[in-house]
């Protein structure tokens, strides 16, 4: 037996079943083509942290972490930080829903990411709209570490 926790065959089988379960979950997440696909593969009402590894590059998508998926960690590549962007406006989606990342769940952590916020100045002034607000968090215990928000104009005045 490898540890004191596995003194019986039943305990060993339970331990190995948990390892196999975690491995299958990791493999399913690692084959995701988009961040949203990775989030969708997380089991609802999970009780353990799930790390979504995000490789370098630019991801143009609207990402929502639903309330029933707590303990999600977005871990961007430290050497080639990924950029998350979504060109939605508050006029089209509403203020909250125009965010690039919406966190409804509890215990969310994001690190090593760049969130590029697009400001469409002409749209804002001429049409009375507003811009994508980047990240919107409504869950408890939301932490952002090594996060860079890039604000850039989509049009000039």
Q: Which residues of 37-58 are buried (b: 16+ CB within 10 A; e: fewer)?
A: ebbeebeeeeeeebebebeeee
Label residue 127 by pLDDT band (50, 70, 90).
Answer: very low
Residue 70, in any domain of the structure: yes
50 and 101 inside one domain: yes
18 and 72 inside one domain: no
Mapped onto helix, strand or coil, the DSSP state of residue 7 is coil
Number of domains observed in the structure of the chain:
2
Label residue 126 by pLDDT band (50, 70, 90).
Answer: very low
20 and 53 inside one domain: no
Which range, of 6-10, 70-74, 114-118, 119-123, averages the lowest pLDDT? 119-123
Per-residue pLDDT at 110 exceeds 70: yes
Label residue 1 by pLDDT band (50, 70, 90).
Answer: very low
Residue 146, in any domain of the structure: yes
Taking residues 100-112, what's their average pLDDT? 88
106 and 66 inside one domain: yes
62 and 121 inside one domain: yes
127 and 63 inside one domain: yes
Label residue 128 by pLDDT band (50, 70, 90).
Answer: very low
Reported pTM? 0.67
Q: Structural domain of residue 21, as residue ranges?
A: 1-31
């Amino acid at each position: 037996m490898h540890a004191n926790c596995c003194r019986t065959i039943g305990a060993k089988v339970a331990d190995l079943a948990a390892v196999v379960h975690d491995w299958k979950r990791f493999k399913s997440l690692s084959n995701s083509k988009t961040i949203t696909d990775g989030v969708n593969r997380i089991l609802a009402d999970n009780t353990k942290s799930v790390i979504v590894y995000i490789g370098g590059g630019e991801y143009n998508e609207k990402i929502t972490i639903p309330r029933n998926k707590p303990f999600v960690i977005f871990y961007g590549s430290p050497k080639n930080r990924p950029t998350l962007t979504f060109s939605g406006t508050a006029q089209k989606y509403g203020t909250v829903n125009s965010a690039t990342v919406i966190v409804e769940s509890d215990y969310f952590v994001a690190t090593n990411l760049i969130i590029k916020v697009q400001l469409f100045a002409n749209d804002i002034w001429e049409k009375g709209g507003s811009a994508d607000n980047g990240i919107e968090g409504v869950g408890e215990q939301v932490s952002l570490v090594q996060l860079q928000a890039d604000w850039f104009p989509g049009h000039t005045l």
